[in-house]
Structure 1
Amino acid sequence: MGIYGAINAAISGLKAQSYALENISGNIANSQTTGYKRLDTSFSDLVASGGNDQTTQKAGTVNANSRATNEIPGDIQRSDIDTHMAIKGDGYFVVQEKLGQTDGRSIFSGNNVYTRRGDFTIDEEGYLVNGAGYYLFGNPIDETTGNVSGTVPELIQITNDFMGARQTTQIEYRGNLPTYPITAQSDSTTPGSELLDSSITPGTDITANDNTAFLRSSLAGEAITVYDENGSPVNVQFRWAKSQNADSSVPQNAQWELYYMADPTATGTDAMWTHAGQFEFDGSGALVSTTDDTGTTSTPAGSSMTLSDVTVAGNNIGDLQFAFGSDGLTQYADPNGSAKVKTLAQDGYASGEQTGVQISGSGRIVATYNNGQTRDLYEIPIASFSADSRLERLPGGAFAQTTDSGEPLYSATGSVKGNSLEASNTDIADEFSRLIITQQAYSANTRIVTSGDEMLQEALNMVR
């Protein structure tokens, strides 16, 4: 190879170390860039001529190439912005670049690219765009089923539409009725005083004239706000009255009547309380049968009954399912003699205005509303590739698929984490260590050039 070959090898070394220095410089510059993947440098030797016997071969020049680190994650950091997200594990967000606007509407490239940069925020059009200007894609959620509709990701656009009201269709009610109810009328020394006032026929509605006697001989069953078809709130009050005691000498069970207030302004013979159902308990306190407001008896008792055409203070709510479960209503002794309600819930709500958007633990974009409800809007897909290192690197921390990387696969093992960001995987300490080594190697190569030049000068001086 000779002196010229040595100088040529040293020059290739200078170029290779300059290449490495450029990667180190870029890595350090992007040490705080969200989702940045550093570029390491690989060196490979180029064998000089000399045949196929290593004893006659000489060390050749060197070539430098970048080595991707896409598979090395950065640290996951906490973010206070609800739309910020990070991928924990394998995978990429699916995004597109915006080309411009036409007639006030954004136009996009139509070519999907992929990124780990998750600092997304909502722009004026409702799109989710990250700090590098890439727009997020997702799979829409069917509002009725709650499942993903379609398999091809589409551009995410979040609107500020109101959530429509939902009419109440079911009330869940679970609790215990006392064996001996303590009412204003009951007297422990007077048998039967704990029962519904004798002036009132069990199973019938309570008129305004009978209201005082009814209140004195019944127990409060708590109240709940339900919603009509338009989302207007309606307060429904329940009361219980024991109408029959268990008798050990006769095969009969204890019997309770359920009522709800229908018209608080009723007068005279108008109905103030509507009879909702009848409940029969055996001696052990277990519910054995129910009779709904149409007179239909269920034996053994089911887990619910229908309250037909419920109307409260002129507000029609329609039919309500009064659900108490298989063991939800009991009649056990209670020292306070009151009805103890453990669960009282309903499934309706008023209309709501959107108050925010956040990322759920299952990787879905969820809208929150001021009526206390949430709605899943999109599921965020995670794309993966068979050969991550073969992706084409683009500005802004994005990557494009290539022939060598393979097609995107939507079976990545990673998961989306909300209120988080992935930091750069650059380690400053490592980069400075590489910087020192690169600097020393560059200096050593300059010495080779200097020495080669001196040797050439000596060879020329021989001629003189």
Structure 2
Amino acid sequence: MGLFAALNASVSGLRAQSNALENISGNIANSRTTGFKRVDTSFVDLVSNSNTSINAQRSGAVLSNSRQTNTVSGVVQRSDTGTHMAISGDGYFVVQKKIGEADGRPILEEVPYYTRRGDFSLDKDGYLVNGAGYYLNTIELDDTTGNPVGSVPTVLRVDNDFMEADATTEITYKGNLASYPQTTNADKNVVGSELMNPANYTNDPTVGGAGFVQAADETRFLADSIAGGAITAYTANGSTASVQMRWSKTSTSPDTWNLFYLTDSTATGANAKWRNVGQNYIFNATGELNPPLASVTVTSLTIDGVNLGNISLNHGGDGMTQFSNSNGNAKVNISQNGAAAGELLDVKISDTGKIVASYSNSKTRNIAEIPLASFNGDNYLARQDGGVFRQTEESGQAILGATGSIEGSATEASNTDIAEEFSKMIVTQQAYSANTRVLTTSKDMLQEIMQVIR
């Protein structure tokens, strides 16, 4: 039976090498497919005479199996598209397949699929869809707290809604005041000419006095003060107000300053035009605030009829100093925490796995996080069209919370190595040719036997 066994073995070899070539061709064909996982071939020997003695054992036939490489990562490549993403390490994106459409909305298959293909982009309806047509599942985040809303991934739809305005509640104000302010009235030959003298005003504008400068005294006030910067603040409905500030030094024993803001640009006569924030800024000999002043609350700050409410001027404890400055001015750094209403401009994926929406008001918002699924038996997942996998009994259930991390503006390339595949193809071709020779030789030997019988 040796010749017949040889025939069977060579036929099985031809079949096995054909399967290997099929896998090689598929790998090469998908060498540029995003997130593709190549399929290798493993060979299993089949022994038909396993019950014979040790000295009579034969090599037998061969069977080919597919060996998955789902856990072998491809090279991560940078992308110019902000919604593209790649997984570094363990994990799969959770996606769903479109099976129809109703009222302009996609109907999705309820069964989740899993993929490493991360070339997602927003379609016309605001869904994140990858290059194979699968819809990304995410977990939405609460606008206020940033915490996840639920724990089950669902398909995200990004709406073109406006971001509501944020009212300004805090102005961060830091800087240095020149120890000798170069005001218009300042004259180093005249002692105290750089100071604000309340006696020169219709009412006392300093802290402890009336606390405001009348419109009729504005010219004098501008000559007694230096510019303190300006910033735009916002109300809850998005109205804006330009907060303009000026500093006046009121004393040199100790060095004391008062901060004013323009409350009514159209005020006339005895009406308040510049209002004092109501706080003495006292500096010691080393140019530091004494006592320290972390913040000042300006009650009902109103600019040209726009009431901003109570605003905290945040100095950060040591944010205000008084050092010598040859220019005699105030160098300040101002920012605030409010914003106007904003229109959606862009959506990107952060490296923390968050979907970040950017708005025209320069604000951003984390609208969802992207969960990653893992499996105990990755290589037992069932392959489907489009580079997705379906869980099987052998792979186990999907486990949300994979250890891998997401890289934004990137994609994972195919893990196919062209050079390696060509090497395997040459070996496969040689093995196939050798099997045909065995088959031909076995046939010739059988023919010789048949001629002897005749």
TM range (shorter): over 0.9
- Is the counterpart of residue 274 in structure 1 residue 284 in structure 2? no
- Aligned partner of 2:311 in structure 1 is 320
- Deviation of 1:50 after TM superposition, in Å, equals 4.7
CA displacement, residues 191-214 of structure 1 (integer Å, 9 cap, x when unaligned): 111110331322220001111111
- Aligned partner of 1:45 in structure 2 is 45
Q: Give TM-score, length-normalised by structure 1.
A: 0.93
AA of the residue aligned to 1:23: N
- Is the counterpart of residue 218 in structure 1 residue 221 in structure 2? no
SS at match of 1:321: strand
- Aligned partner of 1:292 in structure 2 is none
- Aligned partner of 1:297 in structure 2 is none
AA of the residue aligned to 1:30: N
Alpha-carbon separation, structure 1, partners of 2:153 and 2:346: 23
Contact kept? 2:297, 2:312, Cα under 8 Å = yes
CA displacement, residues 384-422 of structure 1 (integer Å, 9 cap, x when unaligned): 111110111111100011122122223322211122111
AA of the residue aligned to 1:35: G
Alignment of 1:39-438 (within 5 A): 39-51=39-51, 53-197=53-197, 198-200=199-201, 201=204, 202-203=206-207, 204-246=211-253, 253-277=254-278, 278-288=280-290, 300-341=291-332, 343-438=333-428
Alpha-carbon separation, structure 2, partners of 1:328 and 1:276: 17
Alpha-carbon separation, structure 2, partners of 1:36 and 1:46: 32
CA displacement, residues 120-156 of structure 1 (integer Å, 9 cap, x when unaligned): 1112221111111111011111111123232221111
Deviates more, 1:279-288 or 1:68-77: 279-288
Count of aligned pairs: 446
Contact kept? 1:48, 1:57, Cα under 8 Å = no
Alpha-carbon separation, structure 1, partners of 2:96 and 2:50: 52
Structure 2: gaps (5+ residues): none
- Deviation of 1:178 after TM superposition, in Å, equals 2.0
Contact kept? 1:50, 1:56, Cα under 8 Å = no
Q: CA RMSD in A?
A: 1.4
Alpha-carbon separation, structure 1, partners of 2:83 and 2:176: 45
CA displacement, residues 363-389 of structure 1 (integer Å, 9 cap, x when unaligned): 111111111111111111111111110
CA change 1:21–1:302 in 2 (3 A) is same
CA displacement, residues 229-263 of structure 1 (integer Å, 9 cap, x when unaligned): 221221111011111111xxxxxx22211100011
Q: Give TM-score, length-normalised by structure 2.
A: 0.95
- Aligned partner of 1:295 in structure 2 is none
- Deviation of 1:52 after TM superposition, in Å, equals 5.5
Alpha-carbon separation, structure 2, partners of 1:425 and 1:75: 7
Structure 1: gaps (5+ residues): 247-252, 289-299
Alpha-carbon separation, structure 2, partners of 1:139 and 1:196: 59
Alpha-carbon separation, structure 2, partners of 1:173 and 1:53: 93
Alpha-carbon separation, structure 1, partners of 2:401 and 2:295: 43
AA of the residue aligned to 1:114: Y
AA of the residue aligned to 2:176: N
AA of the residue aligned to 1:119: D
- Aligned partner of 2:7 in structure 1 is 7
Alpha-carbon separation, structure 2, partners of 1:195 and 1:105: 70
Contact kept? 2:293, 2:318, Cα under 8 Å = no
SS at match of 1:430: helix
Alpha-carbon separation, structure 1, partners of 2:345 and 2:175: 35
AA of the residue aligned to 1:19: N
Alignment match of 1:442 (pick from 432, 435, 445): 432
SS at match of 2:187: coil
SS at match of 2:310: strand
SS at match of 1:206: strand
- Aligned partner of 2:451 in structure 1 is 461
Alpha-carbon separation, structure 2, partners of 1:282 and 1:366: 46
SS at match of 1:309: coil
Deviates more, 1:32-41 or 1:276-285: 276-285
Alpha-carbon separation, structure 2, partners of 1:102 and 1:340: 61
Alpha-carbon separation, structure 2, partners of 1:279 and 1:20: 82
SS at match of 2:163: coil
Alpha-carbon separation, structure 2, partners of 1:362 and 1:50: 56
Alpha-carbon separation, structure 2, partners of 1:257 and 1:329: 13
Q: Percent of pairs identical after alignment?
A: 52
